[in-house]
């Protein structure tokens, strides 16, 4: 078993196309159509839920048990909460992200009459007018507003232009691919994950690689609000690996130059044995990796488990600096995750016993243990 060759040009072009499609949570129809078309071009069967989550299938040799890879199509964004007397629009976040990272963003506002362009600014935006007050004002969503690229100077102007409370606001990705391999953009979380999963699926399909069991490719649409994989995972999935970003910071062990295997996030530890399997594959095939723990982070794994799915879960990540802002990763990280996933889908089920949801104790795995230490008191 060895990694399949990933078409990096395809990954690049697919990521660029995804980044140029607005998809804040609640407005994912266009990107669902794009990913569906990409799957059709590769020749992979799929179905779509009522709301738009995609469940594709890489056929394998299994009968009643499967595995799955999950990524999410939705991104953070915002929604209009107020038409203001100064002709600007108040905002609330869609998803969990700091107001400070939204400042200066160029946006598209989707109204019933069509899209309009604008810029997100703090209420006091000019240093020439407000001097030190610009830095002193709070960095909160209540203090942000959208300056519309229309002649709107009052609430009446906004209403007549077709703006309403509840209009979606999508932030431009502004992608930039450097010759050194760095990728800068908003929404690499998780569009880089989507692109690499499509690239792995294309490589597996075109190479004719035979898989030991079916592998579902799950593309969820509400991860940023916490419910992503709740309706996409079926009970025949014995193992689920989520592909998402690893936040890079001085307090973290992750690197934007490579693969990170998350041992625990705020929802709790990931499956010991499935994590061990991924680490073993990395070691056997010389894929550099790091392990990390994410303190303020929740993924599609948590929503899948919370929905009642009895599946082993793991989280394989590409490192991202500046998560939920203007993010940066490196092609090395995407390549490492893609290589690991191409190996994982070729591997057998972690435990034969997991072919059944409920089974006798015989065959249930053991974790490392040691004899009880006797302490005299």
DSSP string for residues in 210-273: PPSS-EEEEEES-GGGT-GGGTT--TTEEEEEEEEEEEE-TT----TTSEEEEEEETTEEPPHH
Q: What pLDDT was estimated at residue 334? A: 98
Rounded to the nearest angstrom, the gap between the alpha carbon of residue 260 and the centroid of all alpha carbons in its chain is: 14
CA angle 325, 74, 207 (to 5 degrees): 105
What's the maximum distance between 2 C-alpha atoms anywhere in the chain?
A: 82
Q: Active-site residue 223, yes or no?
A: yes
User: Do 49 and 229 contact (CB within 8 A), yes or no?
Assistant: no
Q: What pLDDT was estimated at residue 61? A: 86
Least confident interval from 66-70, 189-193, 220-224, 232-236: 232-236
Residue limits of CATH 3.40.630.10 in the chain? 8-75+187-355
List the catalytic residue out of 145, 223, 239, 256. 223
Residue 83: pLDDT band with limits 50, 70, 90 = very high
pTM tops 0.85, yes or no:
yes
Residue 370 has pLDDT above 90, yes or no: no
If phi > 0 it is left, if psi is from -120 to 50 it is alpha, else beta; for residue 317 that is beta
CATH-assigned architecture of domain 77-171: Beta Barrel (2.40)
Q: What pLDDT was estimated at residue 126? A: 95
Q: Say whether 311 sits in a helix, a strand or coil.
A: coil
Bridge-based pairing of strands 259-265 and 289-293 is parallel
Q: Which residues have C-beta within 8 Å of that of residue 13, sequence separation ≥ 6?
A: none
Task: Compute the mean pLDDT over every residue in the chain, rounded to the nearest whole number.
Answer: 96
Report helix, strand and coil shares of the chain as percent, to nearest 5: 30, 30, 40
Helix (H) or strand (E) holding 115: strand 114-122
- For 257-270, the pLDDT digits (tens) are 999 999 999 999 99
Q: Specify whether domain 8-75+187-355 bears CATH 3.40.630.10.
A: yes
Residue limits of CATH 2.40.30.40 in the chain? 77-171
% of the chain exceeding 70 in pLDDT: 98
- For 331-366, the pLDDT digits (tens) are 999 999 999 999 999 999 999 889 888 889 988 999
User: Do 226 and 212 contact (CB within 8 A), yes or no?
Assistant: no
Q: Nearest Cα to 196, choosing from 242, 227, 254? A: 242
Residue 374: pLDDT band with limits 50, 70, 90 = low
- Give the Cα separation of 318 and 214 in Å (integer): 24
Q: Quick one: average pLDDT of 304-313?
A: 95
């Amino acid at each position: 078993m060895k990694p399949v060759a990933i078409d990096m040009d395809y990954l690049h072009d697919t990521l660029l196309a995804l980044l140029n499609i607005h998809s804040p949570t609640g407005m994912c129809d266009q990107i669902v159509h794009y990913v569906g078309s990409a799957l059709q071009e590769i020749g992979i069967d799929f179905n779509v839920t009522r709301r738009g989550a995609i469940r594709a299938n890489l056929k394998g040799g299994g009968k009643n048990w499967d595995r799955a890879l999950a990524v999410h199509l939705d991104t953070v964004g915002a929604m209009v909460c107020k038409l203001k007397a100064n002709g600007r629009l108040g905002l609330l976040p869609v998803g969990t992200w700091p107001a400070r990272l939204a400042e200066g963003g160029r946006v598209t506002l989707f109204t019933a009459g069509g899209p309009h362009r604008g810029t997100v600014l703090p209420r006091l935006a000019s240093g020439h007018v407000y001097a030190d007050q610009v830095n002193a004002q709070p960095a909160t969503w209540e203090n942000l507003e959208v300056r519309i690229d229309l002649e709107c100077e009052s609430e009446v102007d906004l209403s007549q232009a077709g703006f309403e409370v509840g209009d979606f606001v999508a932030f431009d990705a502004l992608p930039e691919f450097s010759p050194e391999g760095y990728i800068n953009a908003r929404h690499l979380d998780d569009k880089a994950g989507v692109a690499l999963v499509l690239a792995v699926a294309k490589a597996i399909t075109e190479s004719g690689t035979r898989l030991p069991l079916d592998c579902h490719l799950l593309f969820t649409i509400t991860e940023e609000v916490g419910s992503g994989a709740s309706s996409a995972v079926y009970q025949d999935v014995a193992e689920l690996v989520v592909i998402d970003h690893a936040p890079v910071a001085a307090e973290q062990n992750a690197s934007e130059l490579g693969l990170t295997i998350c041992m625990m996030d705020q929802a709790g530890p990931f499956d010991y044995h499935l994590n061990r399997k991924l680490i073993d594959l990395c070691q056997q095939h010389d894929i550099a990796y790091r392990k990390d723990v994410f303190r303020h982070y929740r993924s599609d794994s948590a929503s899948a488990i919370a929905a009642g799915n009895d599946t082993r879960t793991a989280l394989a990540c590409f490192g991202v600096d500046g998560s939920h802002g203007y993010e940066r990763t490196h092609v090395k990280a995407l390549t490492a995750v893609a290589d690991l996933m191409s190996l994982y889908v070729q591997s057998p089920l972690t435990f034969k016993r997991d072919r059944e949801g409920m089974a006798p104790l015989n065959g249930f795995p053991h974790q490392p243990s040691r004899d009880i230490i006797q302490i005299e008191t």
